[in-house]
Amino acid sequence: MKGPRFDPPSAVRWIVHTLEDAGHETWTVGGAVRDVLAGRAAGDWDLTTRARPADVRRLFRRTVPVGIDHGTVGILARDGAMYEITTFRKDVETDGRHAVVSFSDRLIDDLARRDFTINAIAWHPIRNEISDPYGGAKDLRAGVLRTVGTPSERFSEDYLRVLRALRFASRYGLRIDPPTWTAAVAAAPHLSTLSAERIREELLKILDADRRPSSALDLYAASGAMSVLYPELDRLRSTEHWPVTTASVDHLPPGRPLLRLAALLHDLSPHETAQVLVRLRLSNAQTDAVAHRAGAPPMPGPEASDADVRRWLATVGPDHLPGVARVALARARVGAGDPEVVVASWRRARAVRATRPPLVVGDLAIGGRDLIRLGLRPGPAFKEILQALLDRVLDDPRRNRPDELEDEVRRMVETGDFGG
Ligand code: ATP
Ligand code: MG
């Protein structure tokens, strides 16, 4: 059998040479090694070395203290990329959230603390030698995911490993070894102790990179992780909405995690969507984008009036049109709607938007200053008045002229009628 082809960037070889020439044993390890053995394109090349962080920083001109406490230094290479190199470590103590580690002189210690056998393989670029003490390459060939060491211990050291197991099993099409699976299921109730950030990043990695996120979601459900972390989705799973939801997520392409997240949350109530997004602690801008795409009212059809299309654009926010349309199209393509109608509706909405109609209060030809000039006193009524003006202007953009709107304001003040 031909051996696997390791073809790291030349910067990796340069880093290893530099350290080995100075007497420090250095290997590549983790995801890239696993990916090459799995016959896939390698992602980030991570390195592990016997050198201490201070040695690394002395040997390379441009370094970044990525996580000095954990022994991780970033090396900026001539190719413009940063390579992370971490001193061999061994676990001293772990409590499910934090690990106390100490540096070690042996690669084997470093591999022992890694989560799964397939992630505990090192490759030496100069000697072209593989170090695989836990049989990760064999597991990869046999299609099995298992922890390094006793599963229940490894999960209780760091519950994130449960989610990582689900992600790796799904991404590489691996069976989870029964003892590892049993321990993962038993550990699932503890997932609620993980930080929002780690939970979120796991989900986004699945949505970002997997060809079929639904297979990871199935494992989330089967393991109990979904009911602990995403009870709203767990509820949705028992409704007729779930097949379209998961199929639409799969249908959307990798590389657009937030779009896929919007598709995943599409059939939740606005309240449930908000709960999930708050729990995930996405940035405000991301929360806003996902909530708008997930919760947009149905797109007006190709025969809808211009005013209806403008009202819809004003509701969803014109910037969210492409995202909303992509989710709608994905759903239509998997059976929830007619793709041709969605495409036609999308075209139509784009055409209306291209006429640059006023869609938000800020687009109005008059503003708060003008209201003051007209003798009104600033206060909560301002917002109401401007909203009422926008409502008129959405009906007919030609009315968006200072004189017309001022007349309208005077009329409103006289009649006390601000209603739309
Ligand atoms: P990907 O980057 O595609 O998610 P990866 O395997 O590179 O996969 P990283 O999170 O980048 O994953 O971690 C790199 C390596 O560090 C892993 O391959 C694994 O050996 C180790 N590792 C990462 N997280 C953990 C963890 N929670 N417990 C034990 N080992 C871990
Ligand atoms: Mg990685």
d(CA 64, CA 82): 9
For ligand 1, atom 28, name the residue with the nearest CA: 115
C-alpha torsion sign, points 150, 152, 158, 162: positive
Q: Kindly give the distance from the C-alpha atom of residue 110 to the centroid of ligand 1, in angstroms, as a whole number.
A: 12
Of the given ranges (126-140, 169-183, 306-320, 406-420), which has the lowest mean pLDDT? 406-420
Average the pLDDT over 338-349 and give the result: 96
Whole-number pLDDT of residue 3: 64
- The ligand 1 atom at the shortest distance from the C-alpha of residue 164 is 27
Contact 42, 12 (CB under 8 A): no
pLDDT at 2 over 70: no
Most confident of 65-79, 103-117, 366-380: 103-117
For ligand 1, atom 17, name the residue with the nearest CA: 30
Q: For the segment 177-229, what is each residue's pLDDT rounded down to a tens digit?
A: 999 999 999 999 999 999 999 999 999 999 999 999 999 999 999 999 999 99
Q: Kindly give the distance from the C-alpha atom of residue 30 to the centroid of ligand 2, in angstroms, as a whole number.
A: 7
Q: Kindly give the distance from the C-alpha atom of residue 281 to the centroid of ligand 1, in angstroms, as a whole number.
A: 22
pLDDT at 52 over 60: yes
pLDDT at 393 over 50: yes
What per-residue string of b and e applies to 84-104 under the rule 16 or more CB within 10 Å gives b? bbbbbbeeeebeeeeeebebb
For ligand 1, atom 9, name the residue with the nearest CA: 31
pTM of the model: 0.90
Whole-number pLDDT of residue 94: 66
For ligand 1, atom 6, name the residue with the nearest CA: 31
Angle at 10 between CA 8 and CA 16, to 5 degrees: 85
For ligand 1, atom 18, name the residue with the nearest CA: 30
Distances (CA, A) of 320 to 204, 281, 296: 20, 20, 9
Of the given ranges (13-22, 264-273, 320-329, 407-416), which has the lowest mean pLDDT? 407-416
Whole-number pLDDT of residue 414: 86
Ligand 1 surroundings by CB, under 6 angstroms = 30-31, 43, 46, 114-115, 119-120, 158, 160-161, 205
- The ligand 1 atom at the shortest distance from the C-alpha of residue 114 is 30
Shortest-distance ligand to the CA of residue 134: 1
Q: Which residue has the higher pLDDT, 370 or 228?
A: 228
Whole-number pLDDT of residue 98: 65
Shortest-distance ligand to the CA of residue 210: 1
Residue whose CB lies within 8 A of the most ligand 1 atoms, among 82, 84, 91, 119, for a mutation test: 119
Please state, for a pLDDT cut of 70, what percent of the chain lies above it.
97
Average the pLDDT over 94-104 and give the result: 73
Closest to 336 (Cα-Cα) out of 243, 213, 234: 243
pLDDT at 82 over 90: yes
d(CA 293, CA 221): 24
Shortest-distance ligand to the CA of residue 171: 1
pLDDT at 20 over 50: yes
| Mean pLDDT estimate for the chain | 94
Rounded to 10°, the helix 321-333/306-316 angle is 100
Whole-number pLDDT of residue 419: 57
d(CA 364, CA 381): 16
Average the pLDDT over 232-241 and give the result: 96
Whole-number pLDDT of residue 350: 95
Whole-number pLDDT of residue 1: 45
Whole-number pLDDT of residue 420: 46
For ligand 1, atom 2, name the residue with the nearest CA: 31
pLDDT at 119 over 90: yes
pLDDT at 134 over 50: yes
pLDDT at 416 over 80: no
Contact 41, 31 (CB under 8 A): no
Whole-number pLDDT of residue 97: 58
